[in-house]
Structure 1
Amino acid sequence: MSTNQSNEAKFFDLHTTGIGYLNRIREVKPRGKGKPFMAVTVAALRGSMDDAEYSYIDCNVVGAEAEKLIRRSQAAVEAGKKVLVSFRIGDIWTDAFTYEKGDKKGQPGASLKGRLLFIGWIKVDGQTVYEAKPREVEPVVEDGEAEPEAQLASEEASEPVAEEQSKPTPAKQQRTAS
């Protein structure tokens, strides 16, 4: 009797999506050993559009495409321009610390940390400068026949729509016998 075991590591993913402003783009060089990496603070928007609040998330930039886009945005952020992005951040966690200077010296604090995984679009001072290409949708084949929904989705995929990436794909509809 053989069992089919997979040696692949399995993970639970916690993804946060939203829009926010880029701040503090920097390359971090770890003390001692370690590879330098890009980091950015995302001021994520939340609440009412009339009175939005910010949640600041310090992120390590993960992936070549995300790093390229952050590096491309660095000059605009440093010039004081408003760089708004659609983002996906993974595995958010809190980091407790003690303030070392300023009015709060000696007091405890906490910051949100995460991994910037994906950027859907970038706007600099209201002008769109980048929009991710939509994902290709694989047609679902059952009994040698493609689903009409899959055909429609693959035809619509050629039109750029940034919001499509953050929406879950619809569940397959059940067929009723007539």
Structure 2
Amino acid sequence: MTTQTSQKNYFNLHTTGIGYLNDIREVTPKTKKDGKYLSCRIAALTGDSEKPEYRYFDCNVNGEEAKKLIKRCEQAVNDDKKVLISFVLADLWTDMFKYSRDSDFHKKGDVGVSLKARLIRIKMIKIDGELKYQETKSAEQASGASAE
């Protein structure tokens, strides 16, 4: 007798980039069933390198390696050091919200949009220009094979 297992297939949407790490925090959801999770904000660089623009992503950090690396950066971020990371985001989505106070560009009650994603991989970390971490390629990555 043989048993047949069904393998699930997924479509992955991954975004890679480089940007500054900010606002590392542990979040307790309103519904306590899921428990706490690690979150951060990335100011991703885009456009001309002489005059870059920023795209801000609010990220849930997923995977033990990514969590460990983000936690290693927490003190530097809290000390207002420039923490530049090369990253991989997955499953981007948007979240609408209302501004709760006046700002330079928006008034209380205006609707805003936040870009959200799962931070799944860190490829490089620099703190104040000094390289602190560089991902090493595994044999699987070097051969071009992917488990994703």
**TM > 0.5 between the two?**
yes
CA deviations on 1:70-91 (whole Å, 9 max, x unpaired) are 0000000000000000000001
Distance 1:137 1:118 in 2: 16
Root mean square deviation of aligned Cα:
1.9
Name 1:35's counterpart in structure 2. 35
**Structure 1 stretch 8-17 or stretch 57-66: which is displaced more?**
8-17
CA deviations on 1:94-132 (whole Å, 9 max, x unpaired) are 111111222421111101000000000100000000111
Q: Say which SS state the counterpart of residue 114 (structure 1) adopts.
A: strand
Distance 2:140 2:26 in 1: 35
User: Which of residues 113, 118, 142 is equivalent to 1:115?
Assistant: 118
Distance 2:39 2:140 in 1: 32
Name 1:142's counterpart in structure 2. none
- Rg: which structure is higher? 1
Pair 10,35 (structure 1): closer, same or farther in 2 beyond 3 Å = same
1:128 and 2:124 equivalent? no
**Structure 1 stretch 16-25 or stretch 127-136: which is displaced more?**
127-136
Name 1:23's counterpart in structure 2. 22
Amino acid at match of 1:63: G
Distance 1:11 1:32 in 2: 27
Distance 1:47 1:63 in 2: 29
TM-score (norm 1): 0.73
User: Structure 2 regions of 5+ residues with no counterpart?
Assistant: none
Q: Deviating runs (4+, > 2 A) in structure 1?
A: none
Amino acid at match of 1:55: R
Distance 1:89 1:6 in 2: 30
Distance 2:31 2:93 in 1: 24
Q: Say which SS state the counterpart of residue 25 (structure 1) adopts.
A: strand
State the 1:6 CA deviation.
5.1
The structure, 1 or 2, with the larger RCO (C-alpha pairs under 8 Å, 6+ apart) is: 2
Total equivalences in the alignment: 139
Q: Say which SS state the counterpart of residue 77 (structure 2) adopts.
A: helix
**Structure 1 stretch 90-99 or stretch 58-67: which is displaced more?**
90-99
Indicate the percent of aligned positions where both proteins have the same amino acid: 49
Amino acid at match of 2:93: W
Name 2:97's counterpart in structure 1. 97
TM-score (norm 2): 0.87
User: Structure 1 regions of 5+ residues with no counterpart?
Assistant: 139-152, 155-168, 171-178
